[in-house]
């Protein structure tokens, strides 16, 4: 991992962090408890991959990704809402997230649900505050993100996940599930950044292929880490997939086969960027970083 890569990610993640705090501070509320629950999860750390990806995709096209900070932060709000709900007893029933007690363990189930709902709603309010973008382009991005967050994306994938507990599903179903549950927001981040920056059809197609492989590589690596990862580094218990009787790339294949598939998927992602020059180096390095991550 190069210093340039690390510095870019660090600087953009800090930018996102500062703006998330500003957005929460500017939010009017008639109930402080819900706002506290939103803040608890939204500002609990994390790698901020989705907003950083959006800005990096825009940089690949026009080198002005920071201009689109509002849309980038909205994606992080949607991602955080999904984590809060995913951890609920009716879903994955997890006690820890990023090394801290999950939202419902601190604030109760009802408030956790409301905090997630509020973050999802706030995300679209924040998108409407994005400046220096033509209304037609912003509407296109809103469509991308709302589709990714809805029944044909995140929600649909989560539903398949719940229905599949205790069952052995096939690889095609597993891939469909994760294209929605995990991959959809990555796809939305990269496509939205490209659209905001004015990408041509050819470049948008290339970034779309990269995004699809990025999401798949990320999920395969997640499945691998749930078996061989370090609980302290991950910030959550390992082995939760086995406890919840979930099919994963490791259980449907084998650990070594999953690792081989992850590696080939990373190669496909990098290959999708061949029409770009050095402007796509961060994206190339990021997907390679995925396969060696430990958390």
Q: Could you give the CA distance from residue 274 to residue 269 in angstroms, rounded to a whole number?
A: 10
What the chain holds in terms of domains, given with CATH numbers, is 3-292 (1.10.600.10)
pLDDT of residue 243: 56
Q: Tens-of-pLDDT digits for all 295 residues of the chain?
A: 788 899 999 999 999 999 999 999 998 889 999 999 999 999 998 889 999 999 999 999 998 899 999 999 999 999 999 999 999 999 989 999 988 999 999 999 999 999 999 999 999 999 999 999 999 999 999 999 999 999 999 999 999 998 988 888 999 999 999 999 999 999 999 999 999 999 999 999 999 999 999 999 999 998 999 888 555 554 545 556 555 567 899 989 889 999 999 999 999 999 999 999 999 999 999 999 987 765 5
pLDDT of residue 240: 60
Whether 142 contacts 195, CB under 8 Å: no
pLDDT of residue 237: 55
pLDDT of residue 146: 97
């Amino acid at each position: 991992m190069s210093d340039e890569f690390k510095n870019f990610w660090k600087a953009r993640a800090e930018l996102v962090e500062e703006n998330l705090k500003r957005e929460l501070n500017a939010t009017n509320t008639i109930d402080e408890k819900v706002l506290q629950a939103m803040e608890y999860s939204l500002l609990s750390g994390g790698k901020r991959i989705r907003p950083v990806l959006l800005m990096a995709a825009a940089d690949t096209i026009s080198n002005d990704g920071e201009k689109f900070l509002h849309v980038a932060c909205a994606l992080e709000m949607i991602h955080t809402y999904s984590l809060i709900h995913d951890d609920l007893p009716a879903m994955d029933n997890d006690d820890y997230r990023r090394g801290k007690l999950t939202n419902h363990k601190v604030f109760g189930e009802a408030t956790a649900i409301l905090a997630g709902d509020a973050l999802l709603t706030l995300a679209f309010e924040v998108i409407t505050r994005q400046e220096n973008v033509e209304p037609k382009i912003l509407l296109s991005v809103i469509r991308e993100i709302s589709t990714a967050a809805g029944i044909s994306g995140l929600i649909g994938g989560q539903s398949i996940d719940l229905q599949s507990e205790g069952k052995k599903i096939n690889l095609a179903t597993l891939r469909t599930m994760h294209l929605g549950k995990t991959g959809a927001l990555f796809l939305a981040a990269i496509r939205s950044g490209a659209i905001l920056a004015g990408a041509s059809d050819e470049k948008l197609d290339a970034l779309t292929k990269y995004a699809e492989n990025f999401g798949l590589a990320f999920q395969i690596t997640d499945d691998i880490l749930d078996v061989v990862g370090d609980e302290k580094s991950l910030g959550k218990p390992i082995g939760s997939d086995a406890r919840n009787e979930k099919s994963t790339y490791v259980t449907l294949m084998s650990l070594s086969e999953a690792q081989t598939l992850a590696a080939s998927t990373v190669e496909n992602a990098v290959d999708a960027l061949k029409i770009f020059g050095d402007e796509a180096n961060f994206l190339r390095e990021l997907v390679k970083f995925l396969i060696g991550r430990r958390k």
